[in-house]
Structure 1
Amino acid sequence: MAYQKQSDTYIRPSNIHKRVQLGKGTTFLPGKKDPSISHLIDHVLEHGYVILPSLFTKEQVDTGNSELARLHSEKTSGPASRGGRNTFEGLQTRRVYALADKSRALDCFPIHETLLKMNDYFLQEHYLLTSYHSVDIGPGERSQEMHTDDGLVHLPRPRPLMGIGTMIALDPFTLTNGATTLIPGSHLWSDSQTPTREAMIPAIMPAGSVVYFLNTIWHSGGANTSSLPRRSLTVQYCQPWIRPTENMTVAMGWEDLDAVPKRLLELLGFSTHDFMGYVDGRSPRAGVEMRKRRLVEWGMKNEEDERKKGAKL
């Protein structure tokens, strides 16, 4: 990081004067605007979202669906893979969290060139993946509560853009199968404006398409009144500064967390804010214990493999 000298004082340079305000709802620091997607960016600036039709190939979609079918059959895919645990997740909705940990077959979805080019404009350099899981809305599911993805951040509007959300359609999104619904232009709203279901429109799109949206826009999962599930992936990105200066949960040894005072563990990040900070859809502490068991199993398997190799020599 470069510093500029003013007399005897060193000051970290600031780009705060370059921030852009969208209506009364959102502020952000624009990044590089790739000419090939400038029309898509302009649509997001005006409406808060854009649909990217058929961004992924049929082969990629087929791979995604077959991989999710495999994960849903695995006992290790987490409790939400068998059905939602609350109305926000959806009681008739199945979710597989921590997809980056569970499958290499799905790696193409978060790193598509178009999505990253869009992020390069709306998010600051070194932005992060903040959530990556499947959303399988089953028949009979009710409409999800209306929300913004930054709703747990209690800052007044206009507020800084915290992140980006995407929904990747592995099935066509239709009027009846639970297509994501949004309120166009609600990223421009002040805190005094209230969302209504009547103002929402469905993101109707074919399989392989993506709806890309700012996390200040009001949206929800739709009701599924059809006889088939609506399969999708949600990939969400956040600003690079939404994290502690020191990565405490990695720096902290996991050998004997019971010896650490509970309050200190919470401060170190072994806690959640509502659902923020979850590990595989569960508490961070449950995630640590799950990981420790896997490491033990991995070590035992390696020892057995070494013994077998030695026996053949």
Structure 2
Amino acid sequence: MNRANLNTRMQIGKGTTFLPGKKDPSVAKQIDHVLEHGYVILPSIFTKTEVDNANAELERLEASVSGPASKGGRNAFEGFQTKRVYSLPDKSRAFDCFPIHDTILKLNDYFLQPSYLLSSFHTVDIGPGEKPQGIHTDDGLIPLPRPRPLMGIGTMVSLDDFTATNGATTLIPGSHLWDDHQEPNRDAMISAIMPAGSVVYFLNTLWHSGGENTSNGRRRSLTVQYCQPWIRPYENFTVATGWEDLDQIPKRLLALMGFSTHEFMGYVDGRSPRAGVEMRKKRLIEWGIKQEEEKKGGSSKL
């Protein structure tokens, strides 16, 4: 990194530092809101058709065997009354539009460094009776003191209306400004109330949690998280996604999933990850042919 870039580093309160990128005028107000409060709600940025298609696919995936948490969470953090379908890029093309919405990417271009990655992309279907999730920050697994560098961005996409009673994401406004001595308190939390097709966008230094569902209905959503290009994502999309389907995935989404490089980071045998996949596919085909020939040769000797 050019040392001159370090002189532009911005510190937000006592909690967060980052290197600001391009501030697109079309999202300037949203950026200013995030800087002050740690989050911003983007109301109804997805169409009813996009939301309906996603919900239809969610019903199909939850009805099938779609991962270890598709019938219910395995621990209190996942939520025992909460269903999750992980690795969405490998499950359906109906979800492709959500991580690459223009407004979200423009915000990311300001808060994250170029070539940032998709860190996590899965459904969160909170059922009736679910308890509030533990209050956390999305960079909690990284043991660095505050103020610490911004490691990533979290977003929650509402596939149902988020209400105060059905498990809407809860957050503590301004907690991205805190140092390590200030403890989160649930009394300080607010609910991200918003209609279906909306997004709550927040820094991963912000304290937040999934809400309690005291209603009789579900709260369906997507969690889409992004990380700096030099961080290991939560989900390993380059392994989780079937190589035979890569050409069907939008190129921008493919890059976010890690089929891209940042400076020299992420290359495969000196090649781009996408070229590396083709190299491996070729070797697998050759290996398969050799195995078949050896089987046939063995059979002819009997």
TM-score range, shorter chain: 0.7 to 0.9
Please give the alpha-carbon distance, in whole angstroms, between the structure 1 residues aligned to 2:118 and 2:83: 21
Match of 1:27 among 17, 31, 34: 17
| Structure-to-structure mapping, 1:84-163, within 5 angstroms | 84-163=73-152
> Match of 2:269?
none
What is the aligned-residue identity percentage? 75
> Match of 1:51?
41
Letter of the structure 2 residue corresponding to residue 206 of structure 1: P
Match of 1:65 among 52, 55, 58: 55
CA drift at 1:79: 1.7
Please give the alpha-carbon distance, in whole angstroms, between the structure 1 residues aligned to 2:49 and 2:171: 28
Please give the alpha-carbon distance, in whole angstroms, between the structure 2 residues aligned to 1:130 and 1:158: 22
CA offset digits 1:46-101 (Å, max 9, x no partner): 000000000101111101100101111122x1120000000000000000000011
Match of 1:176 among 165, 169, 173: 165
TM-score (structure 1 length as normaliser): 0.74
TM-score (structure 2 length as normaliser): 0.77
* Cα distance change on mapping 1:80 and 1:243 into 2, 3 Å: closer
Match of 2:177 among 184, 188, 193: 188
CA drift at 1:243: 3.7
Query: Is it true that 1:201 corresponds to 2:190 in the alignment?
Result: yes
Letter of the structure 2 residue corresponding to residue 189 of structure 1: W
Residue 105 of structure 1 aligns to a residue whose secondary structure is helix
Q: Cα RMSD between the aligned structures?
A: 2.1
Residue 95 of structure 2 aligns to a residue whose secondary structure is coil
Unaligned runs of 5+ in 1: 2-11, 251-294, 304-313
Query: Is it true that 1:223 corresponds to 2:223 in the alignment?
Result: no
> Match of 1:41?
31
Letter of the structure 1 residue corresponding to residue 19 of structure 2: L
Poorly superposed stretches of 4+, deviation over 4 Å: none
Please give the alpha-carbon distance, in whole angstroms, between the structure 1 residues aligned to 2:27 and 2:7: 25
CA offset digits 1:173-229 (Å, max 9, x no partner): 001000000000000001000100000000000000000000000000000000111
Letter of the structure 1 residue corresponding to residue 57 of structure 2: E
> Match of 2:153?
164
Residue 7 of structure 2 aligns to a residue whose secondary structure is helix
Letter of the structure 1 residue corresponding to residue 105 of structure 2: L
> Match of 2:274?
none
Unaligned runs of 5+ in 2: 240-283, 293-302
The number of residues matched between the two structures is 241
Letter of the structure 2 residue corresponding to residue 149 of structure 1: D
Please give the alpha-carbon distance, in whole angstroms, between the structure 2 residues aligned to 1:54 and 1:183: 22
Please give the alpha-carbon distance, in whole angstroms, between the structure 2 residues aligned to 1:131 and 1:84: 16
Please give the alpha-carbon distance, in whole angstroms, between the structure 2 residues aligned to 1:154 and 1:79: 28
